[in-house]
Every structure is written in structure tokens, then in C-alpha cells.
Homo-oligomer: A and B are copies of this chain.
Amino acid sequence: MSEWLVYHNGKLVPDADAKVHYSDSGLMFGVIVTESTRTFAHTPFKLREHINRLFRSMKATRIDPRMGTDEMERITLEVWEANRHNLGPNDDAWIVHNVTGGKMLVTIGGWEFGEPTVLINCAPIDFTAFGSFYNSGVHAITPSARQIPPQCLDPKIKHRNRLHFNLAEYQVKAVDPYGFSLLLDINGNLAENKGANFFVVTGGALRTPTPHSVLAGVSRQTVLELAEGLGIPTVEQDLQLYDVETADEAFFTSTPYCLLPATRINGVTIGDGLPGPVSRRLLAAWSEMVGLDIVKQADLHLQTEAMSE
């Protein structure tokens, strides 16, 4: 692990040395935005889209990164090149950006700004954390806590003020230690998982919540594009628990796993309780697009892990 290098405000440092002072506004005031890009066969996927969204998050939070998107992309690729040798042939990695407001001096009667803190790190994807769910499907669970409404803090900003997600997770894990949270918004509509978007399949069509109370995920967007290519109709609308309970299929989308079928919701079987044909077609199309069998990659990791036990 010691060979992983982290970009920290202009320098590459060993991962263990990438620390921020406790007074950093990221820690003190939650002024921190982020992106996670993954690689497929060691090639970053939609890196530019992630960087563009990072800059939208920074604009909405008034963080000035002191560089443009081109420079951010160039640096990111340098960080990636400095770390990719750590991966084996079947491995892939996250490339994670974190940018804080730095030494923002928020006093009682005013404030001043210093340099932002820019961190870019890479880490191998742990396929064993989710690989088995491609076949079994995951268990979606709605906690009683609600997603923060956009009039308070917009979930379209990809930030790290995630305490509410963390507290919701306790309620979810109390039901099923491998459960996936599915938060509702304050009107009771489906919102999102702590790090993933959600889709249902009903009568052959994809339905997913509007971008009102959710992150406009890159994986979500990828699924919408793949569906268009496959001739699968898609609708963005307000959805409720009933729509999941009576769906034919459902799935989460997120950067590390792309798409994971959800086969139970609050203990109720979704469809026939198995990953469905639409989910499988989308995963196949995604695999084809990135030139790598997404499920197979995870399976190989699971086999390796099983042998090593």
C-alpha cells in the first residue's frame, strides 16, 4: 500500500502523509466537494464529465480552485499515471478528488479566504465488497431519516456533508447488515442511496427520480444513454415505495459497480427476486462500451479471494 501517492496542493506525497490541519474549512465548516472516477482496464471513464461536475460543485460552493478544467484534468492524469503501476491486470481503481475551502477564516463578524486544499488520490476498487450482488441482488431499505431538501443544501452539489447519510445507514444495517439505503425525500418520494442513484423497471420502461433531490450521477446518466441505445424507454418522475414494491426489476447505479440489481425492498421480493433481463442487458451494454466484462471482473476477484481464504 505504501506505493500509493496522493496529490496534495501541488505535490505528490505518500498516502500516509496526506493530512490536513484540523482547522481546514473542509473539517470545520463542511466546505468540501468531491468526485470519484473509476477506471475500466486501467482507463479512466468519463473523467472529463467528473471534472466538469467537480467545477459545478465548486462554483455552487464558491470554492475557487485556482486552476481550470484542463489543468485539473492534466494533473489528474499525472496522478493516475504515478499510481497505476500498483494495479494488477484484473484490478481497477477509483481516482478521487477532494477540494476544500482551505484555511477559510470565518470570524464572527466577517471572513477571509486562503488557498483551497486540493487532494487527488487513487485506490484499488475492492470488488469483493459488492461482486456477489450482481447475482444475488441487493436488499434496498428505506430508513426513517429523509434526504436533505435542496432549499437547505442541494444534493446536486457533490459534497461531503454526509452525516445524515451515515446516521441513516445505522437504521439500514439494523435490518440487514448488507442492506443498501434508499432515502426518501421530505415529501416521501424516492431520493437516492448515500452514493448511488436508483431505477425501477416497470413494463419494460426505466423510471428514475427526477434530479430534484438527488445527485445527477454520471452512472445514472450513462444508464439513460445506454437505454436510449437499446431502445428502452426512460422516464424521470417522482416515485414512491409502491413503485419499487410492484416493479419488475430495480437497480442502483454508482461509479464503482456501475449497476447493481436490487431484488428486495424492505423485505419484500422485487419481481421474481432475481436480477432481471433489463438490468442484465444494461450491464452487458456497459461492458461492451468499456471493453471489459464488468460482472466477470468482479467474479474473478471473488474467486481469488475465496482461494486465498
Contacts and interface: CB of A to CB of B under 8 A. Distances in A.
A267 B170 contact: yes
Contact of A161 (B144, B163, B170, B177): B163
A204 interface: no
A147 B153 CA distance: 9
Given A20-B22, A21-B19, A144 B143 contact: yes
A251 interface: no
B107 A151 contact: no
A160 B27 contact: yes
B186 A240 contact: no
Contacts of A22: 6, 8, 18-20, 98, 119, 121
B29 A163 contact: yes
A220 interface: no
A177 B266 contact: no
A75 interface: no
Interface string A11-25: 000001011111011
A257 B163 CA distance: 29
Copies of this chain, tallied across the complex: 6
A152 B162 CA distance: 11
Given A27-B27, A29-B163, A106 B169 contact: yes
A43 interface: no
A90 interface: no
Interface stretch (A78-86, A226-234, A241-249, A275-283): A241-249
Nearest to A125: B108
A6 to B, nearest CB: 7
B257 A151 contact: no
A308 to B, nearest CB: 18
Contacts of A237: 210
Contacts of A259: none
Interface residues of A, number: 95
A129 interface: yes
Interface stretch (A56-64, A285-293, A299-307): A56-64
B121 A109 contact: no
A296 interface: no
A256 interface: yes
Contact of A129 (B98, B110, B144, B210): B110
A209 to B, nearest CB: 12
Nearest to A143: B144
A149 interface: yes
A135 to B, nearest CB: 13
27 contacts: A6-B22, A16-B21, A19-B20, A22-B119, A25-B166, A29-B160, A30-B162, A59-B246, A60-B241, A61-B163, A101-B166, A107-B129, A108-B126, A108-B129, A146-B149, A146-B151, A146-B152, A146-B188, A149-B187, A150-B188, A150-B242, A151-B187, A151-B240, A152-B188, A153-B167, A171-B175, A189-B212
Closest A-B pairs by Cβ, 4 of them: A151-B188, A19-B19, A161-B161, A142-B144
